[in-house]
């Protein structure tokens, strides 16, 4: 809850339980890799879809299986965000995924001509 | 740095002057409008210092090139916000001009007075989204303003070489800009 004060603006927010924040639940997928199946992984795939790393499957629903296509998406995500490229949901990757971020897609906006230039 | 597909930019003849306005109906009330305007003015000026583009605030929201507002959840553009943290804001590529911030966040101008663990620096997010408005997509350079994530209670407002190179490839360089000032800033950052 936010308690704005009139002149000396001190804002206090009750954050004793931050598990309600968006994406915090993704931490349960830590260390998952290709071949694993974890309940709720489809939500993670929706996250990857939202930011341009994974297309919607033909059957319209994501599964909870960490398949080869998902591994490719994880690798693309790690490459794009300058993370160690492991293809697994390691701690660096999970930490990045639960971090707040901009809602603009990382890749969909670039079509087939995506080029990220590092300096 | 990277660009949106097709490398769109504001296509007017140089010098480009873009107007911006704040929504009257979609704002937050715990930070004064005056303070919000000051923060945005500073964020716009950072980009204006490196490219021959200037930004001017106007009152007429519908006619502004850049239209800024704070919105909750589904706000009609097909990109609903998601509550506390998660997605903080989004902006559209040139020449759309829509600039939306998630009203569910605890926006902060500084972290001395705002003690929340989920406070988000308004100026950092504003600076990042202006990059999108100008035509930059996300960067893979972690230190760059255009890197997609920002931790709560952190600040990233100074443009890095990656940001400057990207935006100058779209608009050219501001004749008054020198890389030495930027390098001095970056050296200071690295030593810190």
What is the enclosing helix (H) or strand (E) of B90?
strand B87-91
| Cα–Cα distance, B1 to B60 (Å, whole number) | 33
Residue among A58, A17, A64 nearest A38 (CA): A64
A20-75 per-position pLDDT tens digit: 578 988 999 999 989 999 999 999 999 999 999 999 988 889 999 999 999 999 99
CB within 8 Å: B132 and A102 = yes
Closest residue in A to B91 (Cα) is: A104
Residue A119 clears pLDDT 50, i.e. is over it: no
Can you tell me the ipTM of this complex? 0.94
Q: How many CB atoms lie within 10 A of CB B78?
A: 6
Respond yes or no on whether the N-terminal peptide bond of residue B74 is cis (omega within 30° of 0).
no
Q: What is the pLDDT of residue B181?
A: 76
Element spanning B19, H or E:
strand B16-22
What's phi and psi for B99, nearest 5 deg? Answer: -135, 105
* d(C-alpha A27, C-alpha A98), whole Å: 8
Per-residue pLDDT for A12 more than 50?
no
pLDDT for position A18: 44
Is B141's CB within 8 Å of A119's CB?
Answer: yes
Report the residue from B4, B79, B161 with minimal CB separation from A103.
B79
> Of A80 and B15, which is predicted with more confidence?
A80
Determine the pLDDT at residue A13.
43
B129 is catalytic: yes
Check CB contact of A102 with chain B, cutoff 8 Å.
Answer: yes
Q: Which sign does the torsion angle of CA B101, B105, B109, B111 carry?
A: negative
pLDDT of residue B65: 97
- Between helices B33-48 and B122-134, what is the axis angle to 10°? 50
Low-confidence ranges of chain B (pLDDT < 50): 192
Within 8 A of B103 by CB-CB distance, chain A residues are none
Confidence of residue A1 (pLDDT cuts 50, 70, 90): very low
Residue B20: phi and psi, rounded to 5, are -140, 155
């Amino acid at each position: 809850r936010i308690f704005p004060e009139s002149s000396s603006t001190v804002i206090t927010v009750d954050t004793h339980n931050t598990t309600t924040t968006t994406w915090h639940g993704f931490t349960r997928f830590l260390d998952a890799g290709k071949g694993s199946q974890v309940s709720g992984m489809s939500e993670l795939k929706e996250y990857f879809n939202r930011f341009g790393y994974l297309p919607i499957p033909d059957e319209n629903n994501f599964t909870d299986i960490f398949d080869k296509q998902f591994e490719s998406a994880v690798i693309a995500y790690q490459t794009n965000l300058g993370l160690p490229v492991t293809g697994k949901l390691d701690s660096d990757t999970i930490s990045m995924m639960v971090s707040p971020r901009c809602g603009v897609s990382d890749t969909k906006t670039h079509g087939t001509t995506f080029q990220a230039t590092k300096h | 740095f990277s660009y949106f597909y097709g490398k769109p930019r504001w296509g007017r003849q140089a010098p480009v002057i873009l107007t911006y306005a704040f929504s009257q109906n979609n704002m937050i009330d715990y930070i004064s409008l005056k303070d919000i305007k000051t923060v945005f003015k500073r964020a716009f000026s950072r980009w204006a210092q490196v490219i021959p583009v200037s930004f001017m605030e106007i009152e007429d929201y519908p006619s502004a090139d850049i239209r800024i507002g704070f919105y909750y959840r589904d706000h009609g553009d097909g990109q609903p916000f998601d509550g506390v943290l998660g997605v903080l804001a989004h902006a559209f590529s040139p020449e759309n001009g829509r600039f939306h911030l998630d009203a569910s966040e605890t926006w902060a101008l500084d972290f001395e007075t705002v003690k929340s663990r989920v406070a988000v620096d308004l100026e950092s997010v504003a600076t990042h989204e202006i990059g999108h408005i100008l035509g930059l997509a996300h960067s893979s350079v972690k230190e760059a303003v255009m890197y997609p994530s920002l931790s709560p209670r952190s600040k990233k407002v100074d443009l890095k070489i990656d940001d400057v190179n990207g935006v100058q490839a779209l608009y050219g360089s501001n004749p008054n800009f020198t890389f030495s000032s930027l390098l001095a800033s970056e050296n200071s950052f690295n030593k810190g």
